[in-house]
Amino acid sequence: MTTPPQFEIYFDGEPIPCRDGWTIGAALTAAGIRSWRTTRHRQRPRGLFCGIGVCFDCLVTVDGQPSLRACLTPARPGDEVRTQEGTGR
């Protein structure tokens, strides 16, 4: 990477550096984070899988709204991203 990150988002309260146009999934992955959801039945961690909006494995809660696809959702400065448990509701 040649240019510095342009803004921050927050993951469970911790600041994460982010670039213009990155998805939340990209920002979390670039920060070394691999999972941001646990499943309903077995409480298993999940993160990016298909990366293109098909599999819905990367669901995450952003600014209180649950079950958004991290691989599609563009990061905006100050986004509060939270680990989602179960249905997220």
Interacting residue ranges for other proteins, rule: CB under 8 A = 1-3, 6, 19-23, 25-26, 29-30, 34-35, 39-42, 44-57, 59, 62, 65, 67-69, 71-74, 86-87, 89
Q: Which residues fall within 8 angstroms of residue 42, CB to CB, at 6 or more apart? A: none
Smaller CB separation from other proteins, 15 or 77: 77
Strand order in the sheet with 84-85: 45-46, 37-38, 84-85
Pairing of strands 65-69, 59-62: antiparallel
Smaller CB separation from other proteins, 8 or 30: 30
Smallest gap from Cβ 68 to other proteins, in A, equals 5
Smallest gap from Cβ 44 to other proteins, in A, equals 6
Strand order in the sheet with 7-11: 14-18, 7-11, 80-82, 59-62, 65-69
Smaller CB separation from other proteins, 14 or 76: 76
